[in-house]
Amino acid sequence: MARPTAPGVHLVIGGFPPGSTAGHDMHYARMELLRFVGEVDHVQPTISSNFDDLETWLPTTQLLITYTSGPFPSDTVLPHLSSWLERGGHWLALHGTSGGKAESVDGDRRRRRMVKMPHHETLGAFFLNHPPLRKFEVDVHGDHPIVRNMPASFETTDELYFLEILDPNAKILLSTELPDDPDPAFGFEVDLDTSLMEDGHNRALGIVCDRGSGAVAYIALGHTHSPATNGQPYVDVSVTADRTTPTTFRGSWETDGFSTLIRNGIQWGLST
């Protein structure tokens, strides 16, 4: 008797160094993403906390979902990931996947900036920085399957990522308008703000990039923390009047807009 087959979904969820949460409630994100995947019949998910064993799982994987804060595909793993995408694999990348590694500025460990690396080119986006947690409006673009049945916009509270879009052919799915960094002393240092789109007012928060017969979709939303994993020193006044950080934060995870994006992203990855 032939063994039954089912679509493979592999999840990479974790922080750096190994075992670290890196300021995020990885357990909550893991359970929520497994719940979303579990809504699809006959799917067999596998899970890792980093990309080191990705080569093992890709041959049986149709959809890769990543939610990371620190881990990134190494120069050894990246060719396998790129080849898998070219052959038709689909990658749904979330939140901190656009980060990776930071370096000290002028030898001062208190000052850090993000480092652009080869995996950012594959992803199509590079994380620069974000202001403190804040409320903002997310604008939805186009008719791609990932934004199907979405409203024209929705409000959320989250880390508003400043992203440099590296793929000139990227399809913009989500954007927001924030003319200036409201707290330039917060987070990582940025030599040049390359996150502004051509109109000079909006910043992309979600994209899709074709990769041969496959594709990668990146959605910047999704910060969450618990009392044990909170690393936010303070928040914007739009979150709490005294800028005190909520001890438990779910943000976009509790919005219909983000839930629809995740469900649509899973369907997109498994139906193409």
Over residues 167-200, the pLDDT tens digits come to: 999 999 999 997 565 677 788 988 888 998 888 8
Span 77-96, pLDDT tens digits = 999 999 999 999 999 999 99
- Choose among 148, 125, 142: nearest CA to 221: 125
Question: What pLDDT does 4 receive?
Answer: 46
Question: What pLDDT does 192 receive?
Answer: 87
The proportion of the chain whose per-residue pLDDT surpasses 90, expressed as a percent, equals 82
Grouping H, G, I as helix, E, B as strand and the rest as coil, residue 121 is: helix
Contact 235, 229 (CB under 8 A): no
Grouping H, G, I as helix, E, B as strand and the rest as coil, residue 154 is: strand
The domain 8-271 belongs to what CATH superfamily? Class I glutamine amidotransferase (GATase) domain (3.40.50.880)
Question: What pLDDT does 171 receive?
Answer: 97
Whether the full predicted model's pTM is greater than 0.75, yes or no, is yes
The proportion of the chain whose per-residue pLDDT surpasses 70, expressed as a percent, equals 96
Tokens of 129: 């920085």
Over the chain (272 residues), what is each successive 10-residue block's mean pLDDT?
Answer: 67 93 97 97 93 95 97 97 98 97 84 93 97 96 96 97 96 87 80 87 96 98 97 95 97 98 98 80
CA 68-71-75 angle, to 5 degrees, is: 135
Q: How many CA atoms lie within 13 A of 192 on its CB side?
A: 2
Span 53-86, pLDDT tens digits = 999 999 999 999 999 999 999 999 999 999 999 9
